[in-house]
Amino acid sequence: MACGIARDVGDWSFEFTWASSTLKGRVVHTIVLKIAWNGYIYSTWRARNLKLHDADCVTEEAIWLWIRGAVRARMMGVKDIHRRVHTENQGQLMEQWQVPL
């Protein structure tokens, strides 16, 4: 629960609707969620592609590492990210994703 959201996962249609209605704005929490959502989609495709073409099964842990790496890299590229972190919760979120401030 790296983004502080605990909920059941649904099918792709439900997930897309949830993301479209929830991930709005430019606050730190929303930015991280958007990047994590994109990382999740890409990592799912990447794991499936590896399985289809290389016959390798990718572990859940490996997928999580890919997503965490994508979030960390993108957040480190946000100009003046330390100025956007205003609350303790936002600081903890950056810490969970291992983003240095």
pLDDT digits (tens, 9 = 90+) for 22-70: 777 777 878 888 888 888 889 989 998 988 887 778 888 998 899 988 8
Closest CA to 2 of 98, 101, 78, 77: 98
Domain count, the chain: 1
Assigned domain for 56 exists: yes
Assigned domain for 6 exists: no
pLDDT-based confidence at residue 87 (cuts at 50, 70, 90)? confident
Report the share of the chain in percent with pLDDT over 70: 92
Token couple for 25: 């704005």
Assigned domain for 19 exists: no
Work out the average pLDDT over 71-96.
83
Assigned domain for 2 exists: no
Assigned domain for 34 exists: yes
Assigned domain for 55 exists: yes
Assigned domain for 41 exists: yes
Quote the pLDDT of residue 51. Answer: 87
